Amino acid sequence: MNIQPVDRSLQAQLQQKIDHLNKPKGSLGRLEELALQIGLIQHTLTPSLNHPCHLLLGGDHGIEREGVSVSPREVTWQQMINFTHGGGGVNMFCRQHGFKLRIVDVGVDYDLSGIDGIIDCKIARGTRNFLHEAAMNQEEYEHAMQVGVRLVDECVAEGCQVISVGEMGIANTSPSSIWMSLFGNIPLDECIGAGAGLDSPGISHKRQVLAEAVEHYRQTRSGDTAKVDAEDVIRYFGGFEMVAAVGAMLRGAERGLVVLVDGFIMTACAIAAIRLCPEAQDYMVFTHCGDESGHRRMLDIVGARPLLNLGLRLGEGTGALCAFPILDSAVRMINEMNNFDTAKITKYF
C-alpha cells in the first residue's frame, strides 16, 4: 500500500487557530492535540468526523485447541449471532455514538452464511494450530488483508471519515501476545495474561504452549527473532480476523481516515500494521489502555498515549467506541468555539 505521512503544511495554521480560541493556550490539553492530529490527517482547518463506521471481524484460532482460553470456541459464533440481534456491547455503543456496524465473518468455525446481518468473507473455518505449523498460508494471508481493504473502501464510498475495528475470536490474545513479544522484543512471559479469565494454572499452561510455539517457529526460521520478517510473523501466528484488521488499518491510513485503535488485540494489530508501514501510525488514535496484562507495555512499544483507562477488556472494539465522544469534542472545539476576536475578549498571552 502507498501510505504517505500526513501532510504537515497546515500545521502552523492549525496550531494558530487552536491557540487563538477564547481559552488559555493549551488549556484543553489532549483535545487540542486531537484537533491538530485530525486536521492534519484531513488536511483542513475545519475537520469533521462524518459517517463513522465500525468493523466487527470474527475468526477462530487453531491454537484454541490447546486449552489456552477459558472460553470454548463455540462462543465465537454464538456471539456473532448475538451481535446480529443487537445484544452485544458493540451494538450498544455503536447505537449510542452513531457508528454504522458491519459484522464480518472472516474465519469463524461455523456456517454463518445464512445469518442475516453477517457479511460472509470466510476464508476458512479457523486458522491452523500454530503450535505445529503456520496459522495460514501466503494465499490466505493475502486474502485476509484484502478483506480489510475492501471493507474500508466500502465505508469510504459511503462518506466515512473515521473507522474503528473490533474483533471476536476466542483465543486471540495468544497470537497478540506473541506479536507483542516478537515485535516489541519483550520476553514472552511478560506479554501473556489471563485473556477472558484464565486462573493461575491456566496462565501457566498458556505460557508453556506459546513458548513451545515460538521455539518451534525459531527452529523453522533463522532463529534471530529480533530481525524476523514482519509479514512472516503476522502470517504464522495471526488470526484471519486479526490480519483483516491489519489490512483495514493500513487501508484506512492510505485513504486518509482517522483510525481508532481499541484494546490489547487491536493494539497488536496496529503494531503489526506499523511494522509493515510506519507511516500508518500518523493516522491512528489509541483510544484506551485495557485491563489485559501487558497492554500498557504494548502501547509503549509505539509510544502511544491512550485516551482512556477504564479497565476494559471486552474487545469487540468497545473501548474505541467509548472514546469517540472525546474526538467529537476535539472537532467541535476547533470548529465551534469563538476566538478572541469574535468573542471580543482581550487576548492576554
Whole-number pLDDT of residue 150: 98
What are phi and psi for residue 347, nearest 5 degrees? -80, 115
Kindly report the number of other CB atoms within 10 A of residue 165's CB atom. 32
50-59, 185-194, 294-303: which has the minimum mean pLDDT?
Answer: 185-194
Q: What is the pLDDT of residues 203-244, one digit of tens each?
A: 889 999 999 999 999 988 865 544 678 999 999 999 999 999
Pairwise pLDDT comparison (126 vs 87), residue with the higher score: 126
Q: Please, which pLDDT band fits residue 159 given cuts at 50, 70 and 90? A: very high
Whole-number pLDDT of residue 223: 53
Above 70 in pLDDT, residue 264? yes
Cell of 35: 484537533
Above 90 in pLDDT, residue 304? yes
Q: Residues with Cβ < 8 Å from 196, sequence gap 6 or more?
A: 69, 70, 71, 170, 173
Whole-number pLDDT of residue 349: 63
Beta strands across the sheet bearing 162-168: 118-120, 100-107, 53-59, 162-168, 258-261, 284-286
What are phi and psi for residue 138, nearest 5 degrees? -65, -40
Q: Residues with Cβ < 8 Å from 16, sequence gap 6 or more?
A: none
How many residues make up the chain in this entry?
349
Whole-number pLDDT of residue 224: 55
Above 60 in pLDDT, residue 113? yes
Measured CA distances, 42 to 33, 77, 207, 291, 332 (Å): 14, 37, 43, 32, 15
Kindly report the number of other CB atoms within 10 A of residue 83's CB atom. 23
Instruction: For cell 496550531, name the residue.
Output: 15
Q: Where are the domains of the chain?
A: 53-333
Mean pLDDT over the full length of the chain: 93
Whole-number pLDDT of residue 196: 63
Contact 322, 287 (CB under 8 A): yes
Burial level of 248, CB count in 10 A (0-12/13-18/19+)? buried
Measured CA distances, 112 to 107, 149, 154 (Å): 10, 22, 21
Burial level of 138, CB count in 10 A (0-12/13-18/19+)? exposed
Whole-number pLDDT of residue 225: 47
Above 70 in pLDDT, residue 344? no
Distance CA 31, CA 26 (A): 9
Above 80 in pLDDT, residue 303? yes
- Span 53-333: which CATH code? 3.40.50.10210
Q: What is the pLDDT of residues 19-75, one digit of tens each?
A: 999 888 999 999 999 999 999 999 999 999 999 999 999 999 999 999 998 889 999
Q: What is the pLDDT of residues 117-155, one digit of tens each?
A: 999 999 999 999 999 999 999 999 999 999 999 999 999
Q: Please, which pLDDT band fits residue 348 given cuts at 50, 70 and 90? A: low
Above 90 in pLDDT, residue 325? yes
Active site residue ranges: 316
Above 90 in pLDDT, residue 187? yes
Task: Taking residues 176-188, report their average pLDDT.
Answer: 94
Distance CA 124, CA 103 (A): 17
Q: Sign of the CA dihedral 38, 44, 47, 52?
A: negative
Above 90 in pLDDT, residue 341? no
